Each structure stands twice: as C-alpha cells, then as structure tokens.
C-alpha cells in the first residue's frame, strides 16, 4: 500500500492521543529512528526534542538496548508472573531498590504509568483498611497535576485540564490544593501551604494519601516548584497520618538533574511510581515501589494480599531492556550530560524572554520550556518545526523540549533555534 492509502486508513480508523477521528491533527509517517534522529517516510530527518514523551533518554535504536531485547527474546518473550519468576524481573527490582530513595524496597511491576498510579492508590487504601481506618479512601493532589488517564489516576489529575466535568458522574471526588506558587529557586513560605494545611486539618480522616509529581508538574503545565515545598509536604503528611505517593513517571531517571526528583528535597515518599524512561523508551513497563511500613501493613491482616495482578506483570522482555537501560544510565556520565544540556538551554533560551508572546522561560535539568501568552495551533507549529528539521510538539500554550541525554550541542542548538523562531513567529 502507498503511504497515501496507509495515512488515509490511519486518519479514518486509528485514534491518536487526545484527537478527533472526524478532524484529526496531521500525523507524520516514521520510517525509522536512530540516535536523536527520527527519519520520516519522505526521507526527511527530524532532530528529536521530545524523547517520545520523556522515554527515550538514550536515543533510538541503541545497540545495547537492542541487544538486551534480542537476547531475552531467544530465551522467552513472556511467562506469567503468577507462580513463576525470572532473572530480568529480579535483577531489575534489585537495581531499582538500590537507586530509589532509601527505604523503598517492595516492587510491584505493571504495564504502564497509569496502572502504576492505580496500584499506588490501591495500596494506600488497603493500608488504611488494615489499620482500621476504612474512612480514609480519598486522595489529596495538586492542581495542574497529571497522573495518567485511567479512572483512578484521572480522579487525581487537575480537574480542569483533566476534564473532570466530562466524567463527573463516574469520577471519584478528591481534594485539590493549588499548584505550588514557589518556583524552583524560591523559598517556600507558610502562605504557600495554607490551603493544604486547612484541607489536611478538616479532612485528614478521609484522606489515604497525598499524590504529587515531585518538583516538576509535567503534562499539567510544565511547572517547577521549590524543593522546600516538597520537604514540608512530607512533614505535613506525617503529622496528619497521610501517606505520600511520589509520581516520578516523568521526572525519574535523571531528567531533572537528580536521578529522582525527590532527591532535590531529600524526601523519601511511602510509595514511588516509575515508568516512561524506565525502559529507555523501548517497551511499556512501570513499577510501583513502596516501603516496608506500607507493604507490611497491607500484608499483615485481611485479606493479607495485595489485590492486583496484571497479565503482563513483570514481562521479561520489558524487564530486560529496563535493566539494560538503567545500567547504561548509571554507568555513564548522565549527570554531566544533563548538566551540560541545562547550561546550554539556559544560555540559548533565556534570551527568548524578550520575545513579545513569551510569558516565561523555564529550565531545569534536561527540560526547556517557553510558556506563551496564548495557546498554539498545534498543527501549524508542528509543521513549522518540521520545516526546520526538528521534532517538537507543543501543547496548549507551551513550547517545550526534553531531548535524549545523548544529544550533542549542535543538535541541541537546532532545537532551541527552532523554539525561538516559532515563538517569534507567533508574536508577529
Ligand atoms: C505519563 C505520565 C503518567 C501516565 O503514564 P502512562 O504510561 O502514559 O500511563 C502518569 N504520571 C505522570 C507524571 C506522567 O508523566
């Protein structure tokens, strides 16, 4: 079939993320991808600024990761995890528990980030059930937060951007505190926490856990907040007997300059969710890791088990490539690379602050954001970026990049130049 026919079928029959089947946004056919370059079917090559939504930290078609998949494929692609186990899952769990904040040591593998959030929420509810506090079944989270698209996860996403009104008859009503107002470099004052304190004081007895994205609120607005704020949330959770769930699905594996964003604040949550870059972008895998207190309590009394068990739990192919990707990351100089990306982004994006339509420029680790004063026409911006040979996909009023860590400075400059050009184009 020709690409024209294939794309016609795609347009009519295949849902893409958050789009219409009647008026779908354009999609570009990909032929292959290697390193930081995505090759389109028309032969054009685009420099990747997105890491396929935070995932491909080592770039595409990496020989080490390819090998991990191939050699596991010759052993077995999959076996059920009920009653069976295997080295890829065990070795991955051992490595992850060494890397995440100390005390997080009980690992639940599942298939996607959203499911790992569901798992974390269920753990929190079971925890309080066992402790004889069955009233603690609600969650506290932050406005502008994003935790996934399944119902439990959706119920803790920002109510406006998460379109809670659409599902209001079905969705659980949880508690929301305002998005943190103290920026990354700013101190956190009591006024920033007033609302949270009042929710915890009034409703602590109904709240099982506080779930948040540490330091970087991703898909809900690409906002960065003060580590001090996170530290104070940990204290408040302890004072009010509320578990703390850190959703590190986007921030994990070095993206913010620390291996996990919780480290900026020296905070250890009770439960952490990992996904996205876990497999270097090869396969869908996520992990929910909790501490002994949480796991021990859940398993301490009726029903004595944790009630979840996906079919593809601990998939060996996914675990093998996750192990290879994580080993590759920590054995390399990721910290220097992320730091040098951060320095270059700062140098090259800071001047965008003087462009009329740019409201704010934010950089943290290997993340660069231009917040515009208006929403972008995604199709038009995407097309401009393609003309400039880069793959950047804006959303709402945000032009942002989080490139693979392997990007060199010349390619990174092409990304920042394109961001600047599109920002200027919008202003004119
Ligand atoms: C992407 C994301 C999720 C959802 O992960 P999926 O794999 O898409 O289900 C949850 N939380 C955060 C912070 C994310 O960035």
* Digit-coded pLDDT (tens) for 281-297: 999 999 999 999 999 99
- Nearest-atom index, ligand 1, CA of 213: 13
Q: Give the mutation target among 157, 250, 255, 286 for probing the ligand 1 site: most ligand atoms within 8 A of CB.
A: 250
pLDDT band for 427, please (50, 70, 90 cuts): confident
Q: Is 394 in the pocket of ligand 1 (CB under 6 A)?
A: no
Q: Is 261 in the pocket of ligand 1 (CB under 6 A)?
A: no
Ligand 1, atom 8: closest residue by C-alpha: 113
How far is residue 283's CA from residue 322's CA, in Å, rounded to a whole number?
8
When the pLDDT of each residue in the chain is averaged and rounded to a whole number, the result is 97
Q: Is 214 in the pocket of ligand 1 (CB under 6 A)?
A: no
Q: Is 129 in the pocket of ligand 1 (CB under 6 A)?
A: no
pLDDT band for 357, please (50, 70, 90 cuts): very high
Ligand 1, atom 11: closest residue by C-alpha: 147
Of 1-5, 207-211, 242-246, the least confident: 1-5
pTM over 0.85: yes
Question: Do the Cβ atoms of 248 and 211 come closer than 8 Å?
Answer: no
> Which pLDDT tens digit goes with each residue over 173-201?
999 999 999 999 999 999 999 999 999 99
C-alpha 26: how far from chain center? 25
Task: Give the residue-averaged pLDDT of 255-260.
Answer: 98
pLDDT at 296: 98
Neighbours of 340 (CB within 10 A): 17
Q: Is 256 in the pocket of ligand 1 (CB under 6 A)?
A: no
pLDDT at 308: 97
pLDDT band for 9, please (50, 70, 90 cuts): very high
Q: What is the DSSP pairing of strand 138-142 with strand 207-212? A: parallel
| Nearest of 141, 120, 90 to residue 273 by alpha carbon | 120
CA distances to 1, 20, 260 from 8, in Å:
11, 14, 42
Q: How far is the CA of 249 from the centre of ligand 1 (A)?
A: 6
Phi and psi dihedrals of 113, rounded to 5?
A: -60, -45
- Nearest-atom index, ligand 1, CA of 284: 7
Ligand 1, atom 6: closest residue by C-alpha: 113
- Residues labelled catalytic: 18, 146, 247, 276
Structural domains for the chain:
3-61+334-427 (3.90.1150.10), 75-331 (3.40.640.10)
Q: Is 352 in the pocket of ligand 1 (CB under 6 A)?
A: no
pLDDT at residue 161 above 90? no
Q: What is the DSSP pairing of strand 104-110 with strand 286-291? A: antiparallel
Task: Give the residue-averaged pLDDT of 115-124.
Answer: 98
> Which pLDDT tens digit goes with each residue over 308-341?
999 999 999 999 999 999 999 999 999 999 999 9
pLDDT at 428: 83
pLDDT band for 162, please (50, 70, 90 cuts): confident
pLDDT at 165: 87
Task: Give the residue-averaged pLDDT of 381-397.
Answer: 96
- Full DSSP string of 136-170: --EEEEETT----SSHHHHTTS-TTTTTGGGGTTT
Q: Is 218 in the pocket of ligand 1 (CB under 6 A)?
A: yes
Q: Is 158 in the pocket of ligand 1 (CB under 6 A)?
A: no
pLDDT at residue 244 above 90? yes
How far is residue 207's CA from residue 137's CA, in Å, rounded to a whole number?
6
**How many alpha carbons lie under 13 Å from residue 276 in its C-beta half-sphere?**
27
- The answer for 410, left when phi > 0, alpha when psi is -120 to 50, beta otherwise, is alpha
Crossing angle of helices 334-349/409-427, nearest 10°? 30
Q: How far is the CA of 250 from the centre of ligand 1 (A)?
A: 7
> Which pLDDT tens digit goes with each residue over 272-284?
999 999 999 999 9
Q: Is 143 in the pocket of ligand 1 (CB under 6 A)?
A: no
Ligand 1, atom 5: closest residue by C-alpha: 113
pLDDT at residue 261 above 90? yes
Q: Give the mutation target among 57, 118, 146 for probing the ligand 1 site: most ligand atoms within 8 A of CB.
A: 146
């Amino acid at each position: 079939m020709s690409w024209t026919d294939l794309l016609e079928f795609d347009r009519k029959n295949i849902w893409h993320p958050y789009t219409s089947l009647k008026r779908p946004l354009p999609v570009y056919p990909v032929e292959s991808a290697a390193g930081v370059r995505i090759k389109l079917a028309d032969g054009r090559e685009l420099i990747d600024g997105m890491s396929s939504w935070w995932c491909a930290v080592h770039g595409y078609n990496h020989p080490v990761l390819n090998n991990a998949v191939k050699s596991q494929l010759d052993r077995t692609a999959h076996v059920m995890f009920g009653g069976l186990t295997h080295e890829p899952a065990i070795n991955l769990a051992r490595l992850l528990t060494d890397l995440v904040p100390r005390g997080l040591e009980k690992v639940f593998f599942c298939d996607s980030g959203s499911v790992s959030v569901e798992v974390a929420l269920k753990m929190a509810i079971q925890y309080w059930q066992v402790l004889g506090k069955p009233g603690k079944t609600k969650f506290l989270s932050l406005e502008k937060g994003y935790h996934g698209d399944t119902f439990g996860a959706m119920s803790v996403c920002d109510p406006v951007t998460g379109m809670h009104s659409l599902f209001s008859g079905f969705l659980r009503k949880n508690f929301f505190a305002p998005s943190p107002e103290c920026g990354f470099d700013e101190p956190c004052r009591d006024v920033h926490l007033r609302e949270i304190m009042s929710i915890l004081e009034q409703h602590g007895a109904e709240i099982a856990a506080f779930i948040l994205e540490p330091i970087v609120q991703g898909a809900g607005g690409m906002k960065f907040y003060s580590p001090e704020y996170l530290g104070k949330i940990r204290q408040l959770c302890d004072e009010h007997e509320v578990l703390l769930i850190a959703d590190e699905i986007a921030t994990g594996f070095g993206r913010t300059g620390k291996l996990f964003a919780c480290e900026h604040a020296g905070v250890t949550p009770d439960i952490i969710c990992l996904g996205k870059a876990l497999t270097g972008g090869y396969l869908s895998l996520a992990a929910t890791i909790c501490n002994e207190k949480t796991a021990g309590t859940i398993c301490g009394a009726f029903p004595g088990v944790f009630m979840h068990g996906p079919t593809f739990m601990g998939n060996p192919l996914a675990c093998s490539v996750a192990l290879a990707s994580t080993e590759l990351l920590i054995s390399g100089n990721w910290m220097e690379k992320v730091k040098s990306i951060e320095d270059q982004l700062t140098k090259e994006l800071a001047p965008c602050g003087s462009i009329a339509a740019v409201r704010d420029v934010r950089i943290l680790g290997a993340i660069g954001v231009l917040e515009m004063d208006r929403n972008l026409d995604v199709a038009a911006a995407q097309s401009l970026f393609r003309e400039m040979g880069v793959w950047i996909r804006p959303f709402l009023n945000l032009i942002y990049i989080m490139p693979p860590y392997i990007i060199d400075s010349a390619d990174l400059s092409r990304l920042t130049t394109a961001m600047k050009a599109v920002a200027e184009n919008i202003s004119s």
